[in-house]
Structure 1
């Protein structure tokens, strides 16, 4: 019995033992400047975003911070210099009427507030083939959940590739917009007490609004004409997922088809390869892919990003709900559609469908 008491006493005092805290000290790495943006042959304003990332050894990356109060300009091969204005923290815009010209080369020049100077290599604007048509195809994409599929619309660009030159293509989608359908007649009053049920309180307005998608980072598609030089071509260039709201009525999509340099194509192909990494523990860690920006003060400094100058062909497409063969489960908004952030009763300025 005495032995049992001693054992019990030892077990009780063990959790009370002091443990010295361990402080993890991480070696702070270099601060990497990142340049993100492009100019095209469409009227501006065009945006260049400057950020800096603090790195901490090989453990993790720190905060991405905007680079403010920089002097930013674009110089063309004829000597014309256009200055950009900082419109928000780290975001610099060309004048509204500025546009690149086919055949000219453009160089991005930066001077940071502390005096460091950077420049891009010249980017020549190559003419791009026009888009003849954009068609759609409803597709399903498998997910990790065998019982759940991603449903959406694949956009297919139809165009005739010029046969007299090597061409590299870069496709992006501009922020889409759509008719937002709500159900204000299903609105219910919130309970005044946890035991009170929600009572029906239908609203008279509003069931129909318009919503412009945010301009968050989007996927892109690239292609070289090595396999279709001089041919009539149809290529899938974008995927718009059906989230239960986008295709309840009408969706406006806009495709930008750009002609880019061979160097820009190689850079984007490396980015595409890194984005395809599955995230397995056996994957190689992402590498810092150097672009076409160099430091004039320290040629060995790593600068991330790429400045692109490109000719662009744009095509818009209105997708109706009935155009989809397969649809996601509709999402219900039991309230006035104007309660959705960003939703308005008036269509966007580029909305041409009655």
Structure 2
């Protein structure tokens, strides 16, 4: 069976494929090379609550020949269920439209994305059916001392991840994989050029200090409660059962992740049953160089997805609204292989060492910092976590 793999980029703490995964998204501007305006759509609806939001962006050409990607603000966005029930989404950040937290897709139902931009342009996706998920039989990992390469060609250790799947017989199946890693986090606040204070409530703040700022000094502050860092995959890894229909698919590669710490960590693997059209779109995006990031990353030549303009056919669109059945499986990483192969972890602070504020005569300094829930951090112990 042919494996479709991608090269894994250097990961910082704040990341994620469709980094919106159950969390907040910061709007951004991105420069690309294109000659016309493109409306870009990114979304994934599955049989799960806390669905990721829909991202809407537009690529606007500039006089320099490049283009800027900006969020589309103020759109009216909805999903039509089974051709009759309309579910409205809410814009919580610019260009980021959220489902109600209790809404989830149902296997066998159909879904169609519709939105109207502030200037009256109407868009809709093709009607997509939520396919039944296929269970993950087994998750395994293998430590590779040179598993990750960065943009400069430097390599570092990484865990290669694999799954076993019992593919259903007499049906075409296409799969997309993601993973979410939970690592115990000990640093809950970092101040650059200043000190951390517990006021104002509830989270406190960094207060600038002239001397520390002059030397660009960094101080870290320990967590006052248990805290977990959330790291999400940024690879797009897909495959189909063309050569394995009805068979046990063993050791299907689903991605590589860095070695962050020596301590054990929990991995949650998500496997999506996607349509043949969505699979072909991702394959084509990979051929055009979009190997990491979201499906709304626009390649040199715009990819036509499943969304189009209703009242203006001259508008170019790209990206994809995926509807998919989701199966998940937990996997515990005890990190014994990291010890045995004497691998040096990269840590959870972007590759730098922890630097705590030195203790002094004051009994209130340095203060502990709260673990603030976000897209990349949680104070709730993950399910299947092993203490």
State the TM bucket, normalised to the shorter chain.
0.7 to 0.9
CA distance in 2, matches of 1:261, 1:144: 32
Q: Deviations over 1:116-165 (max 9, x none)?
A: 10000111111121012211111223748999532111111111000120
Q: Which moved more, 1:338-347 or 1:165-174?
A: 338-347
Contact kept in structure 2, 1:55 and 1:61, CA below 8 Å: yes
User: Could you tell me how far 1:180 is from its partner in structure 2?
Assistant: 3.1
CA distance in 2, matches of 1:346, 1:156: 26
SS of the aligned residue for 1:350 comes to coil
Match of 1:151 in 2: 157
2:308 to 278, 294, 310: 294
SS of the aligned residue for 1:97 comes to coil
Once superposed, what is the RMSD of the aligned Cα atoms? 3.5
Aligned pair in 2 of structure 1 residues 166, 224: CA closer, same or farther (>3 Å)?
A: same
Q: Deviations over 1:215-267 (max 9, x none)?
A: 6x71121001001111111201021112xxx2321222221100011110000
Aligned pair in 2 of structure 1 residues 86, 119: CA closer, same or farther (>3 Å)?
A: same
SS of the aligned residue for 1:98 comes to coil
CA distance in 1, matches of 2:273, 2:236: 14
Q: Which moved more, 1:53-62 or 1:250-259?
A: 53-62
Unaligned runs of at least 5 residues, structure 2: 1-33, 188-194, 196-209, 213-219, 292-298, 348-352, 358-366
SS of the aligned residue for 2:288 comes to helix
Alignment of 1:80-119 (within 5 A): 80-119=85-124
Aligned pair in 2 of structure 1 residues 136, 342: CA closer, same or farther (>3 Å)?
A: farther
Contact kept in structure 2, 1:119 and 1:294, CA below 8 Å: yes
1:225 aligns with 2:257: no
Q: Which has the larger radius of gyration?
A: 1
Larger relative helix fraction? 1
Aligned pair in 2 of structure 1 residues 75, 208: CA closer, same or farther (>3 Å)?
A: closer
Aligned pair in 2 of structure 1 residues 300, 349: CA closer, same or farther (>3 Å)?
A: farther
CA distance in 1, matches of 2:368, 2:118: 42
User: Could you tell me how far 1:323 is from its partner in structure 2?
Assistant: 3.9
User: Could you tell me how far 1:173 is from its partner in structure 2?
Assistant: 2.0
1:141 aligns with 2:147: yes
Alignment length (residue pairs): 300
Contact kept in structure 2, 1:66 and 1:90, CA below 8 Å: yes
CA distance in 2, matches of 1:172, 1:33: 25
SS of the aligned residue for 1:248 comes to coil
CA distance in 1, matches of 2:211, 2:77: 58
Unaligned runs of at least 5 residues, structure 1: 1-27, 183-189, 195-202, 278-284
TM-score scaled by structure 1?
0.74
Aligned pair in 2 of structure 1 residues 268, 338: CA closer, same or farther (>3 Å)?
A: farther
Aligned pair in 2 of structure 1 residues 179, 291: CA closer, same or farther (>3 Å)?
A: same
Contact kept in structure 2, 1:180 and 1:248, CA below 8 Å: no
Q: Which moved more, 1:51-60 or 1:74-83?
A: 51-60
Q: Deviations over 1:86-140 (max 9, x none)?
A: 1111111111121112222211001111111000011111112101221111122
CA distance in 1, matches of 2:152, 2:56: 41
Alignment of 1:34-183 (within 5 A): 34-56=40-62, 59-62=65-68, 64-139=69-144, 140-141=146-147, 143=149, 148-174=154-180, 176-180=181-185
Match of 2:386 in 1: 353
Match of 1:334 in 2: 355
Contact kept in structure 2, 1:288 and 1:304, CA below 8 Å: yes
User: Could you tell me how far 1:29 is from its partner in structure 2?
Assistant: 4.8
Contact kept in structure 2, 1:102 and 1:311, CA below 8 Å: yes
Match of 2:323 in 1: 309
CA distance in 2, matches of 1:343, 1:155: 27
1:237 aligns with 2:254: yes
User: Could you tell me how far 1:70 is from its partner in structure 2?
Assistant: 0.9
SS of the aligned residue for 2:37 comes to strand
Aligned pair in 2 of structure 1 residues 43, 319: CA closer, same or farther (>3 Å)?
A: same
Aligned pair in 2 of structure 1 residues 276, 47: CA closer, same or farther (>3 Å)?
A: closer
Aligned pair in 2 of structure 1 residues 145, 239: CA closer, same or farther (>3 Å)?
A: closer
